[in-house]
Amino acid sequence: MEIENSRVARKKQNQTSSKEWIFSFAFAIIVVFLLRTFVVGLAIVDGPSMLNTIQDGDRIVYSKLSKPDKGDIVVVVTPDGTKIIKRVIGLEGDTVEIQNGILYVNGKEKKEDYIMEPMFDYDYEKITVPKGKIFVMGDNRNISADSRKYGTFDLKDHYEGKVVLEFWNNFKLY
C-alpha cells in the first residue's frame, strides 16, 4: 500500500511540475512577443553607410518607445519597406542645407567628428523639416542613401526607434 501511494504521489508531482514548466514556457513566450512587438526591435546592419560608427553586419537593438533627438542613431523605414539605420540631423522646424559638401543645420555649420570622411563637393537645397518628421543621414555620407534620397521620414509611419545597443563586431550602449 505504501509503495502504491508513493507512486501516485510521484506521478502527481511529475504532472504538477510538467504543468508548471509548460505554463512558465508559455508565459516566457508571451513576454518575449510583447517586448518585441511594443518595446524593442532587433536589426542587422546591411551595408557600410554608418561606418565608422557602426560596422556592416553588426546587430543592433532599438527602443520603440524612445523619441528621437538630434544626433541619435535611429531605425527608419524607406518607402519600399526597407529598414535603414541612420543618424538624426534635423527635427521638425529645423532647416537643413548642404553647400559645397558642408552641412548646415539652422544656418550653422554642423561639426561632426563621427563622419567617415568629408562629403564630396555636393549641394542639397535648403529645406525646413516638416512637423512630425525627421531628417536623417548616414555617417558614411558619400555612399549613404538617406533623407537626401528619400526625403524626411514621418515619425508616425516610418520611425521604428532609437538604437540603444550595438553588438557583434563591437559592443556599445547608446
Task: Encode pLDDT of 66-112 as tens digits.
Answer: 999 999 999 999 999 999 999 999 999 999 999 999 999 999 999 99
Please state the rounded mean pLDDT for residues 131-137.
99
- The structural domains of the chain, with segments of one domain joined by +, span 1-38, 42-173
Q: Which residues are catalytic?
A: 49, 86
pLDDT band at 14 (very low <50, low <70, confident <90, very high): low
pLDDT above 60 (res 9): no
pLDDT band at 34 (very low <50, low <70, confident <90, very high): confident
CATH superfamily of 42-173: Umud Fragment, subunit A (2.10.109.10)
DSSP string, 95-156: EEEEETTEEEETTEE---TTSSSPPPS--EEEEEPPTTEEEEE-SSTTT--SHHHH--EETT
**What pTM did the predictor assign?**
0.84
What pLDDT is recorded for position 159? Answer: 98
